[in-house]
Amino acid sequence: LKGFFKKRIAKILIPYLISGVVTFLAHLLMRYKFTPSEIFNSLFTGDPIVKYSWYVLVILLLYLIFYIAARFLKKPILILPAVLAGTVGYAVIVETQFSWGNWTINSCLAFSFGILFAMYRDKYGPLLRGGKKTTLFMLVSALLAAVAVILNFVNSKIPVFLLMANPDFADYIMRSP
């Protein structure tokens, strides 16, 4: 964990803060003034000042969960369940207390998958390095995923252009049962 924050957090937080300052200045040029409470609350409401940058806040929180787990548990085989439990706890809190939306929850499991992949990189990494079978598998997987998404849109009877034009509508659809 030596240098963990410097290697990961700084590379995410510094560009995020710069984009926040640029966004703030752009809003000032358009004569909109953020109040200090708007700026502070934007970190917790799921609607940050830099539009659609919720993922930066999620990554920072997941890195914090990982750091705490790794600091106290030491063994990789224990870190993964702890991070997964922390992620589920985060998801429950976000959904029940803040209602940020399912996009903050859906993306979190990829973080745990990344830890799992890192644990077994030496064993399974060569499978992903190329070759005809791997390329064919990736192409077939991508094609099947695309077909699944297209069928989902066709069955929902909602025009795709409507979803692209209005991301809030897409978010509403994702929340409804």
Query: Which pLDDT value is given to residue 82?
Result: 93
Q: Which residues contact 175 (CB under 8 A, 6 or more apart)?
A: 101, 102
Query: Which pLDDT value is given to residue 112?
Result: 85
Please write the tens of the pLDDT for every residue from 53-76: 878 888 888 899 999 999 999 888
pLDDT band at 164, cuts 50/70/90? low
Query: Which pLDDT value is given to residue 52?
Result: 76
Residue 26 has pLDDT above 70, yes or no: yes
Place of tokens 């929340």: 175
Residue 60 CA: distances (Å) to CA of 38, 87, 119, 174 = 20, 12, 21, 24
Residue 143 has pLDDT above 90, yes or no: yes
- As a whole number of angstroms, the distance between CA 31 and CA 60 comes to 31
Query: Which pLDDT value is given to residue 173?
Result: 63
Most confident of 54-58, 106-110, 170-174: 54-58
Global confidence as pTM: 0.66
Query: Which pLDDT value is given to residue 72?
Result: 93
Please write the tens of the pLDDT for every residue from 11-23: 888 888 898 888 8
Place of tokens 């997941």: 62
